[in-house]
Amino acid sequence: MHASLLDILRCPFCGTTLSLVENDALTREGTRIDAGVLGCECCAFPIVAGIPVMMADETTQRALHALEAGSTEQALFGLLGLSDEDGRQERFRALIGQETSTYRNALEILCSDAESTYFLYRFTDPTFVTAEAILTAICQQRWPVQGRTLDLCGGSGHLTRVLTHLRDPEEVEEVEEVEEVEEVEGAEHGTSNSGTVLADLYFWKLWLAGRFTSPNSAPVCCDANHPLPFARGTFSTVVLADAFPYVWHKRLLAEEMMRLAGADGVVVMPHLHSALGDNFSAGDTLTPTAYQELFAPHHPRLFSDERMFENVIEHRVVDLSLDVSPEQLGTEAALTLVASTRTDLFRRFELPSGHEGTDESSEVRQGTLTVNPLYQVELLGESSILTLTFPTPEYEAEFGQCRRYLPDRITVEADLTGPISREKLGPDYEELRDRRVIIDAPLGYC
């Protein structure tokens, strides 16, 4: 973590500021802290792999003790949930030792259930496409993403990556300059600035984000069922996508999100499952009326996810003037909630095309053109034949709407089995990017 994160971190229990407790496990490179212990007025929290863990459960306590005993590796394995019985510690050691290791390989070691499928293909599923569009639209206003942004329950950082790229380019450039200097000084972990914060309950997801998906964001491990470990009014935008029903203490969480967004901040909640509709992995859902009530002080408006998706896919538009009542949503499965006292936000936005602005800034984006992992690639002479292949029937049932933009089969007049450039794709480049057949993926993603 970057030392500047200490300015905004607060203890979730006593609310006091944190400071770095000097100990043997401390590794610090310039302004980055890789391992160490943070102390408040009531307790202590470990920092492992540059990620502060702002919890007090048993696993965290064990990590703290391992750190204090000088074993950062045991602290890391414990937090990642890797035991040595099934050989995963060894596989993980091998993985971090290889320069060619990928997000996909790491996910195979760190996650053994269906969530790994959700994450690997997250960049192009329909709910992500809509959420990305909403954030991009809001960003055109400039003000909401100036200052800090928080991606709460942000998983392994897919939308966080979008947020880091949407920030004021000048601001990002300044950060990049600082980072470059630090890189020369030998800092190992990409996480450095605290402008975009990624928070999640699971350490392994944050580790993946720091290493691959969103290396320019600041990961913080915390439980959204507790007060959030940040100072009041810290963030101009608080995003919580596809996760609110998984948190039991919704009333507390809503109050916390508004506390962090401050009086003129924005709370954005894409893909919120409604109790009145049918959802996959629904969680403990509430009705649209109940969600609206929880955020009442922040003037929440509700939007139909179906209509939002339709507008994005068909017209490249996000229209925040089209809010609907809970009655109008009826039994629709999911909705989007946007809460802000700033009324100028609620208007129609035209989206830039999918390929705009990515090439010029690809270094800042730390990305590379990649075939969407949902495609199998077969090389025939000079051409590549791409076939849409769903990883599981369940994935297809949940996200099959991606067929609206992903063709079942497409032939590209280029060899797509090696590195891909805009020049290589020639006149097809724009369409392939707009349809998300070719994506701007993080380096080493798959």
Ligand X SMILES: C[S@@+](CC[C@H](N)C(=O)[O-])C[C@H]1O[C@@H](n2cnc3c(N)ncnc32)[C@H](O)[C@@H]1O
Residues of this chain that interact with Zn ion (CB under 5 A) are 11, 13-14, 40, 42
Say if residues 157 and 214 touch (Cβ distance below 8 Å): yes
- The residue to which tokens 């590195």 are assigned: 419
CA distance 271 to 243: 8
* Residue 60 CB-half CA count within 13 A: 20
Residue 200 binds ligand X (CB under 6 A): yes
* Residue 247 interacting partner from ligand X, Zn ion, none (CB closer than 5 to 8 Å by kind): ligand X
* Residue 42 interacting partner from Zn ion, ligand X, none (CB closer than 5 to 8 Å by kind): Zn ion
* Residue 11 interacting partner from Zn ion, ligand X, none (CB closer than 5 to 8 Å by kind): Zn ion
* Residue 242 interacting partner from Zn ion, ligand X, none (CB closer than 5 to 8 Å by kind): ligand X
* Residue 154 interacting partner from Zn ion, ligand X, none (CB closer than 5 to 8 Å by kind): ligand X
* Residue 165 interacting partner from ligand X, Zn ion, none (CB closer than 5 to 8 Å by kind): none
**Residue selected from 77, 103, 123, 202 as contacting ligand X according to rule CB under 6 A:** 202
What is the chain's Cα-based Rg? Answer: 21
What mask of x and - would describe binding to ligand X in positions 130 to 159, judged by CB under 6 A?
Answer: -----------------------xxx--xx
Phi-psi region of 366 (alpha: psi -120 to 50; beta: other; left: phi over 0): left
Nearest approach, Cβ of residue 211 and ligand X (Å): 16
Nearest approach, Cβ of residue 241 and ligand X (Å): 4
For ligand X, give the closer residue by CB, 33 or 247: 247
For ligand X, give the closer residue by CB, 128 or 295: 128
Nearest approach, Cβ of residue 427 and ligand X (Å): 33
Cα dihedral: 115, 134, 352, 375 (round 10): 20
Nearest approach, Cβ of residue 379 and ligand X (Å): 32
Residue 55 binds ligand X (CB under 6 A): no
* Residue 54 interacting partner from ligand X, Zn ion, none (CB closer than 5 to 8 Å by kind): none
Nearest approach, Cβ of residue 178 and ligand X (Å): 27
For ligand X, give the closer residue by CB, 116 or 192: 116
* Residue 153 interacting partner from ligand X, Zn ion, none (CB closer than 5 to 8 Å by kind): ligand X
Q: Where are the alpha helices (DSSP H) in 98-228?
A: 103-110, 115-120, 126-139, 158-166, 169-184, 203-208
Nearest approach, Cβ of residue 178 and Zn ion (Å): 30
Residue 439 binds ligand X (CB under 6 A): no
**Strand pairing of 196-200 and 148-152?**
parallel
How many residues touch ligand X (CB under 6 A)?
Answer: 18
CA distance 68 to 380: 57
Nearest approach, Cβ of residue 243 and ligand X (Å): 4
Residue 241 binds ligand X (CB under 6 A): yes
For ligand X, give the closer residue by CB, 113 or 363: 113
Residue nearest to Zn ion (CB): 11
Which two three-digit tokens encode residue 293? 């009530």
User: How many Cβ atoms from other residues are within 10 Å of residue 175's Cβ?
Assistant: 20
CA angle 421, 425, 431 (to 5 degrees): 115
Cα dihedral: 47, 196, 205, 32 (round 10): -30
CA distance 139 to 169: 11
For Zn ion, give the closer residue by CB, 43 or 322: 43
**Nearest-CA neighbor of 33 among 55, 53, 13?**
53
Distance of CA 103 to the CA centre of its chain: 14
Nearest approach, Cβ of residue 57 and ligand X (Å): 11
Say if residues 399 and 406 touch (Cβ distance below 8 Å): no
Q: Which 8-state DSSP code applies to residue 190?
A: S
CA distance 249 to 6: 26
* Residue 389 interacting partner from ligand X, Zn ion, none (CB closer than 5 to 8 Å by kind): none
**Contact residues for 198 (Cβ-Cβ < 8 A; gap 6+):** 151, 154, 157, 160, 206, 209, 214, 217, 218, 219, 220
**Residue selected from 143, 246, 346, 405 as contacting ligand X according to rule CB under 6 A:** 246
**Residue selected from 32, 189, 205, 301 as contacting ligand X according to rule CB under 6 A:** 205
**Residue 328, helix vs strand vs coil:** helix
Nearest approach, Cβ of residue 423 and ligand X (Å): 32
Residues that bind ligand X (CB under 6 A): 122, 153-155, 158-159, 200-202, 205, 223-225, 241-243, 246-247
